[in-house]
Amino acid sequence: MTSRNTTSGEQRFRRAKFIFDDLEKFIVMDVFLKVALDDLKFSFSKILNLDFFGKRFIYQFQDQQSGTQNGNQDLDASKLLEEQECIKNFIENQQNLNREMQFKVKFEDIGA
């Protein structure tokens, strides 16, 4: 039996919590580390039953153990999760073996 949150080089999924403060909601799900955060927008739309057309998502990785200054790190939503430096560091740290990743999600209007 294998754990979902492993530190091996073959790790594919990780438990993650996405916090939508503006909506006062959150989603906990297993995410594929080879996914770009932009691709999750459609999943969030289905789960929350909301239309995010014309919205741009802004993601911040929350690492409670890194201290207050680096606690919230902005992420590039077009990059794969496993390519983000703060995510790599979180996964490689043995203390985080069974901890879920946490992300703050905000959104803003795109457009004219």
Per-residue pLDDT in tens (0 to 9) along the chain, 112 residues:
445 554 455 578 999 999 999 999 999 999 999 999 999 999 999 999 999 999 999 999 998 765 545 579 999 999 999 999 999 999 999 889 889 999 999 999 997 5
- Which amino acid appears at position 25 of this protein? K
Residue 55 to residues 3, 4, 45, 51, Cα–Cα distance (Å) = 35, 31, 11, 9
Query: How high is the pLDDT of residue 26?
Result: 98
Query: How high is the pLDDT of residue 64?
Result: 73
Domains and CATH numbers, the chain: 13-109 (3.10.20.90)
Give the max Cα distance, the chain.
Answer: 52
Q: How many CB atoms lie within 10 A of CB 34?
A: 11
Q: Which residue in this structure is represented by tokens 């990780």?
A: 14
How is residue 86 annotated by DSSP?
H
Closest CA to 103 of 3, 14, 18: 18
pTM: 0.85
Closest CA to 42 of 25, 63, 57: 57
Sheet strands (E) in the chain: 13-20, 25-32, 55-62, 72-74, 101-109
Query: How high is the pLDDT of residue 70?
Result: 55
